[in-house]
Amino acid sequence: MSTPNELYDQAVELKSKGDREGAIGKLDEAIAIDPDFAIAHGMLAKLHADLARSEKAVYHAKRVVEIEPDDTFSYTALSVIYQRCGMIPEAEHAKAIAYQKQMGLE
């Protein structure tokens, strides 16, 4: 049985070969083993956004924020996913939270 890290590496390899669906499959396996594997959720958010699957993209980007609530980049990435999905008010809100965290205001 592969570890989440091994599955993530396999997903990176598949993605680099243009196999987004295969990469998503490996990442889904990884989070089935470790639901809090933030980096896998982050890549899933990007892949689903690339495939215009807004609901899934936002879900995974929000999971990263839930898992790593103190990480400024997590909110920045969430903002980008919201933007790509056409959710501008939500993108602005996530961007504001990222800024507050970066400045130590939150």
The structural domains of the chain, with segments of one domain joined by +, span 4-102
Q: Tokens for 14?
A: 């598949």
> What pTM, to 2 d.p., does this model score?
0.93
- Among the four given CATH numbers 1.10.3720.10, 1.25.40.10, 1.20.1260.10, 3.40.50.720, the one describing domain 4-102: 1.25.40.10
User: pLDDT, tens digit, for every residue of 38-59?
Assistant: 999 999 999 999 999 999 999 9
Q: Tokens for 49?
A: 């956004």
pLDDT at position 1:
84
Q: Cα 98–85–88 angle (5° rounding)?
A: 55
